[in-house]
Structure 1
Amino acid sequence: MTSRRELLLGVGALGAGAATLAVPGTASAATAVPGTASAVPVVGAVSGAAGARGDDPRFSLAVIPDTQYLFDADRGDPAPLEATLKYIVDHSGEHNTVFAAHLGDVVENAAAAELVAAGKVFREFDRRGMPYSVLAGNHDIDSRTDDTRGPSPYLEVFGTARFQKMATFGGATSGGYNTYHRFRAAGRDWLVFALDWRVSAGTVAWVKGVLRAHPRTPAILTTHDLAHADEAGTATLSEHGQRLWDTLIRDNDQIFLTLNGHYWPPGRTTLRNAAGNDVHVHVTNYQDRFYGGSATIRMYHFDLARATIDVETFSPWLLGQKTRDALGRAEVELTDPVNRFSVPIDFAARFAGFDPVPVRVPRPASHLVLPGTVAYWRFDAAGDRVEDRSGAGNHLTRVSLDGSESLRWTAEHHPDQPTHGSVFLAGGKRPARGSYLRTAEDAPLNAMTFTKGYTVEAFLKLPADARGDHAWMGVLSRLGRGGDAGRTGDDPAEPVAALAISDGLALQWAVWPLNRDGIATNWGHELRPERWFHVAVVNNGRTTTMYVDGAKLLRNPSTPSIGLSTVGRPWLIGAGTYDNVVEQGFYGWIGDVRIVDRALPVGSFMNA
């Protein structure tokens, strides 16, 4: 006997016809050639759900798969979907939910009464301003037809007129079976396409036209039939999905995520498009589970700060029940790896092909020499001497610990660094090796005590293998022991000032201030290798605060720390000392370094 699953897998694409276009934001048909940009003009400013935080790097997309058994003649129950839609809106503030997408098969028999009943449930979204899309699955229409099929009971309920009232509505094909939507989240616009169970060639051209009209906007494609999965959750394109891939998805880099229902079990795969970038293909459907799937939803939690999409799957209807039977208790939340997972995406890199992040141009030294700047070193030109661009005469010369040339100039740099260059130092300590830079014995900086405050800044990056033989390497330090400066508390052999990297790759600013007979220490957190950081240490004349990339760190002492002790010895870049001995050279990249004799606000840092 042929199984239900085999029947689903055997359904292929039917005849394709031409589709004319509707002007975005209207229900009337356009006479423009299908797929042309003139037929899909860019609409105005977009938003998301009422109260959505458009600039928050974290936002959520709610995904609702097949609900057909809840609307099945006299056998259904709308209560689960009612609970789901209410949950999505009630918790939209908590999750910053900006949009909801139904993946088709809203009802079981494409009957007008079923569709009207489902449409009444979606009034919860309409009434409370939750933007959403619905698309036709094979159970919602005559599955033998494509999206040129003409009027239907489905279209009476979920036609263009229902969606064009939303601020996120972008446009529709003239037949009304395909729509696109734009919402604002994480500081940028996003597109969502809601495509029919069987799209015509004209609709494929229409999607391409929309993408051309929004060339820098990433797109999520939702449809009913695109991929199916095996029992392990590994997805494969269906016959119709392969057609969509070949004619639309593969060659349009803006489409980075596809979502479909129709098949079970759920699963996912990652495909490589023509631009060499990942397209995440996800299938989700729970109609075969308890109570017709209990209106189980997927929440896609986008986090651009963490470069991740976190996905969770649960039934709000079951979640809200005070008492549950045994079957219900097992279905409240699905936590297996197929239904609860994270997708790492470097969004900036993934979208760079169509929306590259603007490269910040180098800034001249004169823009960085603020009032009170006593030293400013830039590593954008190789040489035996690094000029002090502050004009104070604190130039640097190269010193080698082991006679080798382990210092080289590179084009590596922090994206917000004033110069597009750095120095790479290949130091180590067993044995002591590497090169570093130092001020002259008579440099004016050597004698300064900074009693009114200071700001010390540096850009740096650690290699992947920075652990091990590089513990306590110095980024910036001042020669001279605490004992030489008359400080006898703690360990008098420690240097008078040092910005170093601990064995745990954490920053440490340790100095002997003028007002106490002990070391004052600020601690940072572990730095991730192979990533550029900007470090700033700010003293306001009384306390010292450390920042990384403009963010204030935790372990900043409140004990007063006034000024910096000195014995008039040079400052070192790329080396630290103990007992006046340089024990090792720095291992990694160092970019611009600046010292100012006053406390600077975050907005005046070099990376601002």
Structure 2
Amino acid sequence: MLALSLCSSSLAQQPWTLVGIGDTQVLSQSVAGGQAIESMTQWVVDNQQAKNIVFVTQLGDIVQDGLYGRTNAQASSVNNVDEWNRVEAAIAHLENASIPWGTAVGNHELDWVDVIPGVTPSSNWWSSENPGVPVPASGFEGWKQRFGPTTTGRFDDVPQFGGASPDDVDSYFVYNAGGRDYLHIHLQVDVPDTAISWAQGVIDAHAGMPTIVSTHVFEGTIHGPPNHPYLPGSGRNSANQVWDKLINDNSQIFLVLNGHTGQQQHRTRTNAAGKSVFTIVQDYAGFDTGGQNSGYMRLYEFDESNSVLRVKTYSPKLDEYLTTASHQYDLTLDWLTRFDITLVGDLDFNTVIDINDWNLFRTGHLTDLSSLTKLQQYSMGDMDGDGDNDVSDFALFKTAYDNANGVGQFEAMVSRVPEPCSSSLLGACSCSSLIVLRGRLGRCRHGRR
């Protein structure tokens, strides 16, 4: 692993972008709205290289009126073709450009919106609009006919596609971005227990891989979350239950995205391992009502070198950014400590701290590490993440070595190393003058060969 990390180009950590498209339900209802959706996806194609766009995630409610429409209780065939066609036309821009994308299924993709088989609709719209008519069978059959991975086979030739759940509603992708692999899971509205079990199996098969979850209902405070699922029914989960059953104990999950609530909020939560998890809701459907068709979407810019995830909101149709605090902000994320370092001081990542790590540390001491990635800098002894290997890093490495091997073992190891450099480094650490210390370390580094 060390050889691979040191040979990789620092350019591998260039910032990259994940595009988040929220609830397009209102846009799908009109020709002008459909054009606004197409402006989003065409913008992605046009800016893929400039923004280093790696993936597009859609967060549910991709249409407004399900398969059959909302009020026609006697429908015997699809009567909502136009909405689906508009959305598919927009998605075609991505697929024609071979840009991978995925979608989390929302409540408006149900064949009969908000209707779960065998359960009275939560809004009770069915009884009021269709008095005396039994609640019909309803599922995601219309969505599957358009976007179901297994049903349609539309992702078969997408190398980033990993697989779909047995019911063909949930899916996952693995893509390389910024020099590392990411797992991205899309889960249906209210994430049923069956979907959680499937997702856990996917995570187990990709243990340790940085993971993003896109779903329809999670962050937010209305229309269900945090304490209730949006729709009733056995086995459906609230946001709090999804956290407890899936997010909290899987430390590799660091980002959860959703739509649904009409809100623009975010939180940083702490999981069972003490790691940060960013939970973000974006739903701009309210900006599209009344013929506005604004078409705002999110740009999530991952800048690993600067330890920041930048969140921006942009409308290609209006060529306008929303820059107030709820629409644009930065989140601090140190990828190195979050995903790479499992044992501080283990510079070659073999789960032990030994003389090989010490040799790596000595090689990097007082050398120019500025052209390396943060992972490479760490592998050369930058213990405190400030971009160099100096006296403070020496003290940290010595402490880490003794913590792993026993008090006094660092000095014992150094005494067994034949090169004079090791003992000089150890002696120099006790000097009170930083100038004297740097002088000794510099002479040692230049003279040991």
The answer, yes or no, to whether TM exceeds 0.5 is: yes
SS at match of 1:78: helix
Query: Could you tell me how far apart the structure 2 residues matched to 1:158 and 1:181 are?
Result: 15
2:217–2:225 Cα contact (<8 Å) kept: no
Correspondence for 1:340 among 325, 328, 331: 328
Matches within 5 A, 1:106-125: 106-111=62-67, 112-113=80-81, 114-125=83-94
Correspondence for 2:115 among 144, 147, 155: 144
- Aligned residue for 2:217? 225
1:453-493 Cα offsets, whole Å, 9 max, x none, are xxxxx942569xxxxxxxxxxxxxxxxxxxxxxxxxxxxxx
Which ranges in structure 2 are unaligned for 5 or more consecutive residues? 1-9, 68-79, 118-136, 229-237, 349-353, 367-376, 398-426
> RCO greater where, 1 or 2, for CA within 8 Å and sep 6 or more?
2
Query: Could you tell me how far apart the structure 1 residues matched to 2:378 and 2:215 are?
Result: 38
- Aligned residue for 1:88? 44
1:178-225 Cα offsets, whole Å, 9 max, x none, are 000000012211011111113321211111111110102011000011
Correspondence for 1:69 among 1, 22, 26: 26
SS at match of 2:204: helix
2:33–2:293 Cα contact (<8 Å) kept: no
Correspondence for 2:185 among 190, 193, 200: 193
| Bigger Cα displacement from structure 2, 110-119 vs 63-72 | 110-119
1:75-124 Cα offsets, whole Å, 9 max, x none, are 76211111110111111111111100000111110134111321122111
As a proportion of its length, which structure holds more strand?
1
- Aligned residue for 2:77? none
2:381–2:389 Cα contact (<8 Å) kept: no
Correspondence for 1:460 among 390, 394, 402: 390
Deviation at 1:309, TM superposition (A): 0.4
Deviation at 1:145, TM superposition (A): 2.7
What do you get for the CA RMSD once the two structures are aligned? 4.1
SS at match of 2:240: helix
Which amino acid is the alignment partner of residue 330 of structure 2? Answer: S
- Aligned residue for 2:316? 316
Matches within 5 A, 1:419-458: none
Which amino acid is the alignment partner of residue 283 of structure 2? Answer: N
- Aligned residue for 1:284? 282
SS at match of 1:181: strand
Query: Could you tell me how far apart the structure 2 residues matched to 1:419 and 1:242 are?
Result: 39
1:481-515 Cα offsets, whole Å, 9 max, x none, are xxxxxxxxxxxxxxxxxxxxxxxxxxxxxxxxxxx
Query: Could you tell me how far apart the structure 2 residues matched to 1:149 and 1:355 are?
Result: 50
| 1:127 and 2:96 aligned | yes
2:429–2:437 Cα contact (<8 Å) kept: no
**Distance of aligned partners of 1:595 and 1:267 in 2 relative to their CA distance in 1, 3 Å threshold:** same
Query: Could you tell me how far apart the structure 1 residues matched to 2:41 and 2:195 are?
Result: 29
Which ranges in structure 1 are unaligned for 5 or more consecutive residues? 1-52, 320-331, 371-375, 378-413, 421-457, 464-529, 532-571, 577-583
**Distance of aligned partners of 1:356 and 1:318 in 2 relative to their CA distance in 1, 3 Å threshold:** farther
Query: Could you tell me how far apart the structure 1 residues matched to 2:345 and 2:62 are?
Result: 40
1:497-554 Cα offsets, whole Å, 9 max, x none, are xxxxxxxxxxxxxxxxxxxxxxxxxxxxxxxxx99xxxxxxxxxxxxxxxxxxxxxxx
Which amino acid is the alignment partner of residue 223 of structure 1? Answer: T
As a proportion of its length, which structure holds more helix?
2
Query: Could you tell me how far apart the structure 1 residues matched to 2:101 and 2:142 are?
Result: 20
- Aligned residue for 1:593? 441
**Distance of aligned partners of 1:306 and 1:118 in 2 relative to their CA distance in 1, 3 Å threshold:** same
Which amino acid is the alignment partner of residue 316 of structure 1? Answer: P
Which amino acid is the alignment partner of residue 205 of structure 2? Answer: A
Which amino acid is the alignment partner of residue 35 of structure 2? Answer: A
Query: Could you tell me how far apart the structure 1 residues matched to 2:36 and 2:345 are?
Result: 43
2:13–2:303 Cα contact (<8 Å) kept: no
Matches within 5 A, 1:131-210: 131-141=100-110, 142=112, 143-145=114-116, 152-160=141-149, 161-210=153-202
- Aligned residue for 2:257? 259
Deviation at 1:250, TM superposition (A): 0.9
Deviation at 1:176, TM superposition (A): 1.1
Deviation at 1:156, TM superposition (A): 0.8
Deviation at 1:162, TM superposition (A): 2.2
- Aligned residue for 2:418? none
1:310–1:343 Cα contact (<8 Å) kept: yes
1:300–1:311 Cα contact (<8 Å) kept: yes
1:108-141 Cα offsets, whole Å, 9 max, x none, are 1013411132112211111010000012111111
Which amino acid is the alignment partner of residue 226 of structure 1? Answer: F
1:47-68 Cα offsets, whole Å, 9 max, x none, are xxxxxx9923421100000111
- Aligned residue for 1:552? none
**Distance of aligned partners of 1:241 and 1:353 in 2 relative to their CA distance in 1, 3 Å threshold:** farther
Query: Could you tell me how far apart the structure 1 residues matched to 2:293 and 2:261 are?
Result: 13
Which amino acid is the alignment partner of residue 144 of structure 1? Answer: V
1:339-374 Cα offsets, whole Å, 9 max, x none, are 11100011121225879895235459999999xxxx
Deviation at 1:333, TM superposition (A): 1.4
Greater CA radius of gyration, 1 or 2?
1
1:215–1:354 Cα contact (<8 Å) kept: no
Query: Could you tell me how far apart the structure 1 residues matched to 2:227 and 2:211 are?
Result: 21
Percent pairwise identity: 25
1:225–1:238 Cα contact (<8 Å) kept: no
- Aligned residue for 1:58? 15
Deviation at 1:151, TM superposition (A): 5.3
**Distance of aligned partners of 1:586 and 1:118 in 2 relative to their CA distance in 1, 3 Å threshold:** same
Query: Could you tell me how far apart the structure 2 residues matched to 1:268 and 1:368 are?
Result: 40
